[in-house]
């Protein structure tokens, strides 16, 4: 018989955010109205992270074990390649008494299942953010899946994040994000590769002239530059999207190629950024 337990939350839970980057700080701020406290783990984080947390009025605690001990809910929002490491750190600190864990990173459904094995599926909510850091209403949606997804959605009621529940099946929100990411992040990578190849063959100016004639040059250039600024993070997201497509039995070369483009850009020195990718170092 399947275990269909749904855990309950305190009326005003303590929420931990790992970690308050640009998106995490916005999520933490959005949760303040419903939480008794929103906390973050200070150890090992940068000055920029601390400043974002301060501006969002989040409360610092010493480290992840202390955050885990205090929190009723933990929201993981970090670079995709670090998602499992963060989950393992929280699970180890929980020592068999886990908080409700919201896996809100851009990861594959298979990664969400691995997180569920650490905490138990009744203690995990699958989340996917689509849109920019939510500081104003109408810009950002938080898709949620899992048994406790409705309870997490309630925490965001009235906030800049429009929380929408997909259902009880873990992995559904992450699958949606993987599909969405193919057009929002793989397509910009294709444009980056297209411009780099044209530059290598000495036909970039002619290519841009053709694109401009069709009215798409400026839009594509802006899209490519925006993608380049986020290459260090988007490589991992494309890896996760590739895993999602492969698990569905579909070609995943779009995502793997995009991941490689972003890895090369993230690792490039100033000379390569300029000569190959047409970016300022």
Assign residue 109 the CATH number of its domain: 3.40.50.720
Radius of gyration of the chain (CA): 20
Whether residue 237 has pLDDT greater than 60: yes
Segment among 36-45, 179-188, 215-224 with least mean pLDDT: 215-224
The average pLDDT across 119-132 equals 97
| pLDDT for position 281 | 59
190 and 161 co-located in one domain: no
* CA–CA distance, 58 with 20 (Å, rounded to integer): 9
Of the candidates 170, 197, 215, which is a domain's last residue? 170
Asked if the structure places residue 280 within a domain, the reply is: no
* CA–CA distance, 61 with 185 (Å, rounded to integer): 34
Nearest to residue 15, comparing CAs of 205, 207, 202, 161?
Answer: 161
Q: 58 is in which domain, residue-wise?
A: 14-170
193 and 134 co-located in one domain: no
The average pLDDT across 104-108 equals 97
| pLDDT for position 2 | 45
| pLDDT for position 50 | 95
In this predicted model, what pLDDT tens digit does every residue of 48-73 receive, in sequence order?
A: 999 999 999 999 999 999 999 999 99
Whether residue 243 has pLDDT greater than 80: yes
18 and 146 co-located in one domain: yes
101 and 151 co-located in one domain: yes
Question: Structure tokens of 52?
Answer: 């974002």
| pLDDT for position 1 | 39
At 4, the pLDDT band (50, 70, 90 cuts) reads low
186 and 79 co-located in one domain: no
Whether residue 127 has pLDDT greater than 70: yes
158 and 182 co-located in one domain: no
| pLDDT for position 215 | 76
Asked if the structure places residue 206 within a domain, the reply is: yes
Of the candidates 104, 135, 170, which is a domain's last residue? 170
Residue 193, domain CATH: 1.10.1040
Instruction: Give the number of domains in the chain.
Output: 2
209 and 111 co-located in one domain: no
**1 contacts 31 by C-beta, under 8 angstroms:** no
HSE-CB of 220 using CA atoms within 13 angstroms: 20
| pLDDT for position 277 | 87
**277 contacts 204 by C-beta, under 8 angstroms:** no
């Amino acid at each position: 018989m399947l275990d269909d337990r749904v855990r309950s939350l305190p009326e005003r839970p303590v929420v931990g955010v790992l970690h308050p980057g640009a998106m995490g700080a916005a999520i933490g701020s959005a949760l303040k109205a419903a939480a008794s406290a929103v906390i973050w783990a200070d150890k090992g984080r940068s000055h920029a992270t601390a400043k974002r947390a301060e501006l969002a009025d989040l409360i610092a605690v010493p480290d992840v074990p202390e955050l885990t001990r205090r929190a009723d809910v933990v929201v993981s929002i970090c670079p995709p390649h670090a998602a499992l490491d963060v989950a393992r750190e929280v699970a180890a600190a929980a020592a068999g008494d886990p908080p409700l864990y919201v896996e809100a990173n851009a990861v594959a459904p298979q990664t969400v299942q691995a997180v569920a094995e650490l905490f138990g599926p009744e203690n995990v909510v699958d989340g996917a953010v689509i849109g920019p850091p939510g500081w104003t209403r109408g810009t950002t949606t938080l898709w949620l899946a899992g048994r406790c997804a409705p309870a997490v959605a309630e925490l965001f009621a009235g906030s800049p994040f429009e929380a929408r529940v997909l259902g009880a099946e873990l992995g559904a929100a992450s699958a949606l994000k993987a599909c969405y990411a193919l057009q929002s992040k793989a397509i910009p990578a294709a444009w980056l590769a297209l411009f780099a190849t044209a530059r290598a063959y000495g036909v970039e100016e002619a290519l841009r002239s053709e694109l401009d004639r069709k009215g798409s040059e400026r839009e594509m250039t802006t899209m490519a530059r925006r993608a380049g600024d986020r290459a260090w993070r988007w490589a991992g997201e494309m890896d996760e999207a590739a895993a999602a497509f492969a698990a569905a039995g579909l070609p995943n070369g779009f995502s793997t190629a995009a991941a490689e483009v972003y890895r090369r850009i993230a690792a490039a020195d100033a000379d390569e950024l300029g000569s190959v990718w047409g970016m300022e170092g």
